[in-house]
């Protein structure tokens, strides 16, 4: 079934109980508790916890997590995001080493490293990203490293600092359609995010670029399709699409739940535009099953 712009599928109002496809594994398994201890012991943060990710029970049970470097306080206050915002602490120069140790202790073959926005730092934290990549590479040479980076306020030098450290995947989320940036992501700029993805391909074409979108914030299907086209124009090859879930009543309202069939339709629409890999589903987050996403991308490239 192809989702038609003129005749969108029926949708469910957000006040209705959570639909069954959003039911998740409750956290608490032995592996989950082991990871929780590891993060506390090494004084590390994860976006899994800070962003209240619904997949934490499953991911941590499977031994995967997304490290959030540069502290746990963001200098921006995006309306959809549960991460705390305000004035961050000073940069912890030993953090990259502790992240590398934790990745080794967890035995990861694919590590995802992201950060809060650090607009207070001259390089936006790019040198800490680079150091984390290098230390992880040195400690676990076989581990694939994916970085999910902020826009660095459009500073090209910061992007190049990260790229020159040699990540395996460069991820930067556009998050939503341009019309909703002012409401949802007031500190970001849609053209700036596209420019970052474009520059990455120009500078290091061998590093695949990846991005993610949330749906349910009030976007129209044709706006999403237009974003798909823009992303392909700048060479993005991996796309994730997931349901926006409002972290609290203080956050941007959710306009609607998408049905799993609609996610399947969005995936078809995106694949038809030439993405090498598209992960689309209610619980998909940019780091959800990131290892499998990268494997599928490698297979599609062969
Ligand atoms: S989807 Fe990503 S952020 Fe969410 S729990 Fe899994 S690894 Fe963490």
pLDDT at 53: 92
Which residue's CA is minimally distant from atom 5 of ligand 1?
56
Centre of ligand 1 to C-alpha 284, Å, is 9
Tell the residue number behind the tokens 């459009």, with chain if given. 154
pLDDT at 210: 97
Which residue's CA is minimally distant from atom 1 of ligand 1?
288
Centre of ligand 1 to C-alpha 286, Å, is 8
Q: Which residues line ligand 1 (CB under 6 A)?
A: 47-48, 53, 55-56, 59, 64-66, 285, 287-288
Strands in 97-247 per DSSP E:
110-115, 144-148, 169-171, 209-215, 238-243
Centre of ligand 1 to C-alpha 249, Å, is 22
Estimate to the nearest angstrom the gap between the alpha carbon of 162 and the chain centroid: 16
**pLDDT tens across the length of the chain (302 residues):** 333 333 334 444 545 678 999 988 789 899 899 999 999 999 999 999 988 899 999 999 888 899 999 999 999 999 999 999 999 999 999 999 999 999 999 999 899 999 999 999 999 999 999 999 999 999 999 999 999 999 999 999 999 999 999 999 999 999 999 999 999 999 999 999 999 999 999 999 999 999 999 999 999 999 999 999 999 999 999 999 999 999 999 999 999 999 999 999 999 999 999 999 999 999 999 888 888 877 877 776 66
Q: Which residue among 54, 66, 72 has the greatest number of ligand 1 atoms within 8 angstroms of its CB, and so is best to mutate?
A: 66
pLDDT at 16: 62
Cα gap 187→177, rounded to integer Å: 14
Under a CB-based contact definition with an 8 Å cutoff, are residues 227 and 174 in contact?
yes
The torsion angle over the Cα atoms of residues 233, 182, 129 and 73, rounded to 10 degrees, is -160
Under a CB-based contact definition with an 8 Å cutoff, are residues 211 and 172 in contact?
yes
pLDDT at 292: 80
Consecutive H or E run containing 280: strand 277-280
Q: Which residue among 46, 56, 102, 292 has the greatest number of ligand 1 atoms within 8 angstroms of its CB, and so is best to mutate?
A: 56
Cα gap 170→207, rounded to integer Å: 7
Which residue's CA is minimally distant from atom 7 of ligand 1?
65
Sign of the Cα torsion 127, 286, 224, 74 reads negative
Under a CB-based contact definition with an 8 Å cutoff, are residues 118 and 88 in contact?
yes
pLDDT at 290: 84
- What domains sit in the chain, N to C, each tagged with a CATH number? 24-297 (3.20.20.70)
Which pTM was predicted?
0.92
Ligand 1, atom nearest to 59 Cα: 6
Cα gap 96→42, rounded to integer Å: 11
Centre of ligand 1 to C-alpha 5, Å, is 31
pLDDT at 6: 32
Ligand 1, atom nearest to 51 Cα: 3
């Amino acid at each position: 079934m192809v989702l038609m712009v003129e005749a969108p599928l029926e949708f469910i109002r957000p006040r209705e109980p959570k639909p069954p496809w959003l039911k998740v594994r409750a956290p608490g398994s032995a592996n989950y508790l082991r990871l929780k201890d590891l993060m506390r012991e090494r004084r590390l943060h994860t976006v899994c916890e800070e962003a209240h990710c619904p997949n934490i029970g499953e991911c941590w049970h499977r031994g995967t997590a997304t490290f959030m470097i540069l502290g746990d306080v963001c200098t921006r206050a995006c309306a959809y995001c549960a991460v705390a915002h305000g004035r961050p602490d000073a940069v912890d120069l030993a953090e990259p080493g502790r992240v590398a140790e934790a990745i080794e202790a967890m035995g990861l073959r694919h590590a995802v490293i992201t950060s809060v926005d650090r607009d207070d730092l001259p390089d936006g934290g790019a040198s800490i990203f680079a150091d984390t990549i290098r230390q992880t590479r040195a400690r676990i040479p076989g581990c694939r490293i994916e970085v999910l980076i902020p826009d660095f306020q459009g500073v090209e030098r910061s992007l190049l600092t990260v790229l020159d450290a040699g990540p395996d995947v460069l991820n930067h989320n556009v998050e939503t359609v341009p019309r909703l940036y002012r409401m949802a992501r007031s500190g970001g700029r849609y053209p700036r995010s596209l420019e970052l993805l474009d520059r990455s391909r120009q500078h290091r074409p061998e590093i695949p670029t990846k991005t993610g979108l949330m749906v349910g914030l009030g976007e129209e299907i044709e706006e999403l399709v237009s974003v798909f086209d823009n992303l392909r124009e700048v060479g993005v090859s991996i796309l994730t699409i997931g349901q926006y879930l409002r972290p609290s009543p203080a956050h941007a309202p959710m306009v609607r739940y998408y049905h799993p069939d609609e996610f399947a339709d969005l995936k078809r629409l995106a694949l038809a535009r030439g993405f090498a890999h598209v992960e689309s589903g209610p619980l998909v987050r940019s780091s959800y099953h990131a290892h499998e996403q990268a494997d599928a991308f490698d297979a599609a490239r062969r």
